[in-house]
Amino acid sequence: MKIRDLIRGHFTLTTLLITAALLAAGATFTVLNADASGASSLNTQASPLHPLFPLLDEDGQNVLDSGGAVSTMQTCGACHDAEFIQDHSYHSSQGIQDLTDPGDLPGSRAWDTSPGLFGRWSPIAYRYLTPIGDEIMDLGTPGWIMTYGPRHVGGGPAAYAPDGTPLDELEIVPGDPQTHIIDPDTGEMIAWDWQESGVVEMNCFLCHTTAPDNEARLDSLHTGDFRWANTATLLGSGIVSQVGDSYQWNPEAFDDLGNVKKEALTVQDPDNNNCAACHGLVHDDLSEPLTISGCDPASLRTVTTGQIISPQRLSDTGMNLYNKELLDRPWDVHADRLLSCTDCHYSLNNPVYAQESEESRPDHLLFDPRRLDLGEYLYQPLHQFARGQSAHNTVAPQLRDTMRRCDSCHSIEATHNWLPYKERHVEAISCETCHIPEMYSNALMQYDWTVITAESTGVNACRGIEGDPNSPGALITGFEPVLLPKENIDDETQLAPFNLVSTFYWVHGDPSRPVRLQDLESVFLADGAYKADIVIALDTDGDGQLSKAELILDSQTKVDLVTGKLEALGLDQVRIQGEIQPYSINHTVANGEWALSDCESCHSADSRITRTFQIATHLPGGVEPQFVGDSNTMPAGEFSRAKDGSLHFKADTGVQGLYVLGLDAVRWIDLLGGFVFLGVLMGVSVHGGMRVYNAARSKPEEYQLERVYMYGVYERLWHWLQTITIVGLLFTGLIIHKPDVFGLFSFRYVVLVHNILAAILVINAALALFYHLASGEIRQFVPRPYGFFDQAITQAKYYLGGIFKGEAHPFEKTPEKKLNPLQQITYFSILNVLLPLQVITGALMWGAQQWPGIANSLGGLPFLAPFHSLIAWLFAAFIVLHVYLTTTGHKPLTAIKAMVDGWDEVEKHSNSYDEEEA
């Protein structure tokens, strides 16, 4: 009855276990992604279909008749819903609809008032948009248009107040920044006549014509001539010309009906050169070698990341690049393949490109063909453009990640079969990490506003360039972007490449705000030259001039001087603040051989992930900069100061929750394991040495030998197969753990060999377990509890003493009982504890790719991998001990020979404790 109960209990338990296993298997099988196929895209070029149209001024009259400035709202608005376009465009609104009190946005600075260009302070541009109601005036709306207008398409804050009132209808209220400007001579607020200056309407021509004259437009904005800014954009086309301060429309450019001739003005989809007006350097012309100079924030987007959108091969440029001859790759492979900005950054209701997002699309639908009619789209095109989720772009937060990603067009299936664990790689690192391994141009490293130059700018420092950045002879060495974890919109974290730009500036007050440029100017400069006391304080080489290298506040005295002067202006709590802004790098993509394919780039001690990255050349006032709070990355690592005062950053995989094979290791485990291994090695050397010594000294005992067939064929096969695989696993495992030490081997192949050997070992072990269970041989490994300790101690005493005296083995080895108690307990632990643990941790490490959920729930690689390493050390120690102990047979090689051919030579003697028992 007892047995039946037992079986029933087991049966239920077994059934439960099997069911659970099947369920688990089934669950893991459903973790398969079906890729949605994207709609095919057409590359739209300059449209020949645009009808002829007249240019109208803001009253709706033809400009030829009135001679007035062209109004894009009236002109383009005659056919397109210009009001709709302007109202639905972050390019235009730039956050005016999201204006808050200073510091209310999550993660923003204490003085930011919106996430867009209208309200988010730029530490590089430095001028601060004064919030309404603020007492200290820096930039009012007219000033904002003059300063930030160049990078703004018009409309939105350039035409309306936050409450929607047109700017030219605002009442002049003293102290209202919307209607006042600081007089550059007196520093006092004076009223701005919006009626006279006009406002800046959304400038269609800037993006939608073939050759907009951006220079003229910028001039117009800088001088406050807002009404004519859009007209100025047409200057290059011959439709209008500038005579002194006024503009003349050219009747030749118009036909008899008053429409602009098609040859004079071609309306087109924006091409890369249109976007380049604000968004960074584009160089389409293959025949002209590209040259850029300096570290100039005027081309902000280019200099903050070092990205250049050009198909030109680096070796064909006119830049002094390091190793230029070898760089026969284009700057950006997508530019080379003739993609344009709008192929990825498309208008969100463009019927050709836009697709419903994965989240809202029903499962049964791969592609929904019902979409906006082309005509309807042209009437009301959303000027909300798809964007990614870069760290530095806080604009249009509601549009984050609307852009198609790399995997919307590219598949790694066909092309990345050489990469082991490719799904795991894709999960842990972004495509850009390997496909933008290096930036070949220079980029901004820091911008220091704690001192200003004589031109009233901050002091910049670039990375990736040696020598004076403004001289064409400077050597452009480029830089490797720093890899930081980026939190994606779906809460997944991936490593991605960034450039970090640190900025330092004076703030005052509580809540804090940046010190105004005009205050800095009155502290440092008088009539465009440095004040005498400033020169005395900063001039370290005593030549009476302040060179760029001397414009540093690197001592408390200097800091105190400036602090005092600022406080004398009436500012309180004056202090230096520093911030680090990460800039995502997503362009200048490389393909083929230029992308990273060398495993040791990350899987080695000198991994790219943990390379130090310079943050700043010096820390003004010793202030350490802090990461900004509104980016989607975090400084997962440590900062350190070098001897020359520069600040460096080194990422830490542990903080990031990553365990990178070949790079990461838990020191104490390696130390402990090594200690145990060496200890065992020493121990067996001493023991063996003593045996040799004693054997040489004394006469060998004569024992009666019996030749016994000890080990069957299968047993031996199992044993040696296990031996070879375990030794192979230990060897390959060591190479994976420390790839630098064994640079000879290819990391990729070693990983694959390790996995294959592991599979062989597991199958071998499983079959052997079955054999042992089915044949009952398992009994040999199970120590008999009764008398176990006595026998174990006897055996131990033999090894520690008796063996040197040539005593007989306390235990006679027979085919029915091959293992002494110490062997039993050791093998039992090895085969039933350590081996399964090693197999399970190893399988889960492999399973980090196959079933990441289970692996992560058990701690993920950061837990499993060190555990695996520890057991590996123990196995290594075991092997040393085991091989040595096999030499304790009749002759040293007897037992090994027995395991090879099965025949052992057993000493027959009288003091076996079997006999005692019997």
890 or 897: CB nearest another protein:
897
The whole-angstrom separation of Cα 73 and Cα 158 is 13
Least Cα distance to 291 among 471, 516, 535 occurs for: 471
Q: Based on C-alpha coordinates, what's the Rg of the chain?
A: 38
Q: Burial-class residue 861 by CB neighbours within 10 Å (0-12, 13-18, 19+).
A: buried
Mark residues 330-359: x for contact with another protein by CB under 8 A, - for none.
Answer: x-----xxx---------------------
Least Cα distance to 327 among 315, 336, 316, 310 occurs for: 315
- Residue 900 is a binding residue for another protein (CB under 8 A): yes
45 or 291: CB nearest another protein:
45
Q: Residues 569, 760, 769, 879: which binds another protein (CB under 8 A)? A: 760
Name the minimum Å distance from CB 839 to another protein.
17
Q: Give the C-alpha distances (Å, rounded to integers) separating 689 from 686, 694, 807.
A: 5, 9, 17
Enter the DSSP assignment of 568. H
- Residue 323 is a binding residue for another protein (CB under 8 A): no
Q: Mark the segment that binds another protein (CB under 8 A) among 80-88, 555-563, 695-703, 750-758.
A: 750-758
Q: Residues 252, 328, 560, 701: which binds another protein (CB under 8 A)? A: 328
- Residue 543 is a binding residue for another protein (CB under 8 A): no
Residue 895, classed as helix, strand or coil, is helix
Number of residues that make up the chain: 918
E strands along 680-818, which residues? 704-709
Q: Which two tokens stand for residue 762?
A: 């597991």
Least Cα distance to 619 among 650, 581, 645, 582 occurs for: 645
Name the minimum Å distance from CB 385 to another protein.
22
Task: Give residues with Cβ within 8 angstroms of 860, minimum separation 6.
Answer: 657, 659, 848
Q: Which two tokens stand for residue 621?
A: 């006032």
The whole-angstrom separation of Cα 646 and Cα 644 is 6
Q: Residues 753, 768, 876, 895: which binds another protein (CB under 8 A)? A: 753
727 or 792: CB nearest another protein:
727
The whole-angstrom separation of Cα 500 and Cα 815 is 71
Name the minimum Å distance from CB 792 to another protein.
33
380 or 723: CB nearest another protein:
723
User: How does 765-784 read in b/e, with b if 16+ C-beta sit within 10 Å?
Assistant: beebeeebeeeebeeebebe
Scanning residues 35 to 74, which ones bind another protein (CB under 8 A)? 42-43, 45
Name the minimum Å distance from CB 596 to another protein.
16
Q: Mark the segment that binds another protein (CB under 8 A) among 81-89, 462-470, 544-552, 590-598.
A: 590-598
DSSP letter string over 529-543?
EE-HHHHHHH-SS-S
532 or 759: CB nearest another protein:
759
Name the minimum Å distance from CB 713 to another protein.
8
Q: Which two tokens stand for residue 319?
A: 């830049």
Torsion sign over Cα 672, 677, 678, 679: positive
Q: Are strands 443-448 and 637-641 parallel, antiparallel or unpaired?
A: unpaired
- Residue 10 is a binding residue for another protein (CB under 8 A): no
Name the minimum Å distance from CB 285 to another protein.
9
159 or 335: CB nearest another protein:
335
- Residue 526 is a binding residue for another protein (CB under 8 A): no
Name the minimum Å distance from CB 27 to another protein.
26
Scanning residues 411 to 430, which ones bind another protein (CB under 8 A)? 417-418
Name the minimum Å distance from CB 893 to another protein.
13
Number of residues that bind another protein (CB under 8 A): 36
Name the minimum Å distance from CB 42 to another protein.
6
255 or 336: CB nearest another protein:
336
Q: Residues 752, 773, 800, 833: which binds another protein (CB under 8 A)? A: 752
Contact 85, 214 (CB under 8 A): no
Q: Residues 66, 266, 315, 612: which binds another protein (CB under 8 A)? A: 315
The whole-angstrom separation of Cα 123 and Cα 131 is 17
Name the minimum Å distance from CB 872 to another protein.
19
Mark residues 268-307: x for contact with another protein by CB under 8 A, - for none.
Answer: ----------------x-x---------------------
Enter the DSSP assignment of 131. P
Q: Are strands 189-191 and 180-182 parallel, antiparallel or unpaired?
A: antiparallel
Scanning residues 695 to 724, which ones bind another protein (CB under 8 A)? 713, 716-717, 720-721, 724
Scanning residues 728 to 747, which ones bind another protein (CB under 8 A)? 728
Task: Give residues with Cβ within 8 angstroms of 67, minimum separation 6.
Answer: 248, 249
User: How does 196-212 read in b/e, with b if 16+ C-beta sit within 10 Å?
Assistant: ebbbbbbbbbbbbbeeb
724 or 879: CB nearest another protein:
724
Q: Mark the segment that binds another protein (CB under 8 A) among 588-596, 611-619, 792-800, 809-817.
A: 588-596
Contacts to another protein by CB under 8 A? 42-43, 45, 284, 286, 311, 313, 315, 328, 330, 336-338, 417-418, 591-593, 713, 716-717, 720-721, 724-725, 728, 749, 752-753, 756-757, 759-760, 900-902
